[in-house]
Structure 1
Amino acid sequence: MARLTRAESQARTREQLVETAKLLFLRDGYSVTSLEKVADEAGYSKGAVYSNFRSKDELCLTVLDRIHDEQVALIAEALAGADGMEGLLAAFQTWAERSIGDEAWTALEVEFATNARRDPHVRAELAARDKAIRDTIAGLLTGYAERFGITLPMSADDAATALLSLGIGLGVQRAIDPTIPVNVLPDVIRIFAGVR
């Protein structure tokens, strides 16, 4: 077996730290998971963590980016085979039923965002990520509106903010009570599309 280069070794270490942190943050929560625990569970020293991340906040932002990327891939996969507006909404609802309200993911997002209120840098990082998500949603709305000849009842940016806010709120509610149905989200999209 060929020996890893220094860059490959560093990338492997970083990947293992991110995956371990993701597991621990989702399982135990952000506050109680120390960088030392992440290092121990991954089989590295605390110094290895600090050589890859400036802080626990930076590591958590990386974990949240990973989770968001995974969810984007899942939703893209779900929508890829969908046909027509109703097919897209049905595929979206299937993804939403699996993902919106995931207890561990929702708890991590809420806990981290709540802690971020004390740190302007972390708040700015979260705000930038939130804007990127809203921009992506707005782009999708614009594209689908053009594709299906729909006039949105408000700007795509405002509709994206409304839908993301509804999705986040629904996620928190479903984390508390998983019996709350997700169909309200595709139903609101239908109202925006004027096809209800």
Structure 2
Amino acid sequence: MEKRARISRAERHAQTREELLDAARTVFAKHGYGGASIDRIAAQAGYSKGAIYSNFESKEAIMLALLERYADDEIAEFNRIMQLDPTTLKTQLKDRLDTLNADLDWDIMTMELQLHAQRNPAFAERFFAHETRLTEFHAGIIAERFAGENKAPPSTH
């Protein structure tokens, strides 16, 4: 008889947090920020409100965590692609760019984040910090590629 490995409390907490974020993403995309509630997110995830509050201080904190997770995933994926040989890199980068906006739920979430940022200056500051992080990351990749080819990026003027 095979024994199941027990997961640690920290691993279980991380797993619960990810499940809550997945549920929140679905709820925010379906109901918008205003229509999403802690109760709906908890029900979608199959957890109590207490599980949400032990992981996040507010609905807004969940949105920011979703944005951070998206940025982390995006950076990791682009870093993975940039390590490939030139032929594979070109194909994978093209495929990635072709599918970048294929996730309708994330597109809706992005609109919700932007709308909420327009209405809430404190949230806007944190939201735009994440946006800046992604923009600077992508700009760095482009600059690296041009530098690797000993070329200057095209001028925007």
Is the 1:82–1:91 Cα contact (8 Å) retained in structure 2? no
Q: What one-letter code is carried by the residue in structure 2 that aligns with 1:51? A: S
Separation (CA, whole Å) in 2 of partners of 1:144 and 1:40: 46
State the shift of 1:101 in Å.
4.7
Name the residue aligned to 1:19: 22
SS of alignment partner, residue 34 of structure 2: coil
User: Which one of 44, 47, 52 corresponds to residue 49 of structure 1?
Assistant: 52
State the shift of 1:129 in Å.
0.8
State the shift of 1:132 in Å.
1.0
State the shift of 1:38 in Å.
1.1
Separation (CA, whole Å) in 2 of partners of 1:91 and 1:143: 17
State the shift of 1:99 in Å.
1.8
Over 3 Å counting, the alpha-carbon distance change for 1:4 and 1:153 in structure 2 is closer
Alignment of 1:66-85 (within 5 A): 66-83=69-86
Separation (CA, whole Å) in 2 of partners of 1:103 and 1:125: 23
Name the residue aligned to 1:128: 129
Is the 1:79–1:91 Cα contact (8 Å) retained in structure 2? no
Between stretches 117-126 and 67-76, larger displacement belongs to 67-76
State the shift of 1:108 in Å.
0.9
State the shift of 1:89 in Å.
4.8
Question: For each residue in 1:162-188, what CA deviation from the matched residue of structure 2 results, as whole angstroms up to 9, or x when unmatched?
Answer: xxxxxxxxxxxxxxxxxxxxxxxxxxx
Question: For each residue in 1:90-149, what CA deviation from the matched residue of structure 2 results, as whole angstroms up to 9, or x when unmatched?
Answer: 432221111225322111101221112222221111111111112212221221111001
State the shift of 1:6 in Å.
4.1
Name the residue aligned to 1:146: 147
Is the 1:14–1:52 Cα contact (8 Å) retained in structure 2? yes
SS of alignment partner, residue 136 of structure 1: helix
Between stretches 22-31 and 39-48, larger displacement belongs to 22-31
Separation (CA, whole Å) in 1 of partners of 2:28 and 2:42: 13
Name the residue aligned to 2:103: 102
Is the 1:35–1:46 Cα contact (8 Å) retained in structure 2? yes
Is the 1:35–1:56 Cα contact (8 Å) retained in structure 2? yes
Over 3 Å counting, the alpha-carbon distance change for 1:57 and 1:13 in structure 2 is same
User: How many residues were matched structurally?
Assistant: 154
Structure 2 residues without counterparts, runs of 5 or longer = none
| Identical-residue share of aligned pairs (%) | 29
Separation (CA, whole Å) in 1 of partners of 2:100 and 2:19: 24
User: Runs of 4 or more off by more than 6 Å in structure 1?
Assistant: none
Name the residue aligned to 2:13: 10
Structure 1 residues without counterparts, runs of 5 or longer = 160-196
Over 3 Å counting, the alpha-carbon distance change for 1:20 and 1:142 in structure 2 is same
Question: For each residue in 1:60-116, what CA deviation from the matched residue of structure 2 results, as whole angstroms up to 9, or x when unmatched?
Answer: 1111222233333333344433416xx655432221111225322111101221112
Q: What one-letter code is carried by the residue in structure 2 that aligns with 1:41? A: Q
SS of alignment partner, residue 149 of structure 1: coil
SS of alignment partner, residue 119 of structure 2: coil
CA RMSD of aligned residues (A): 2.7
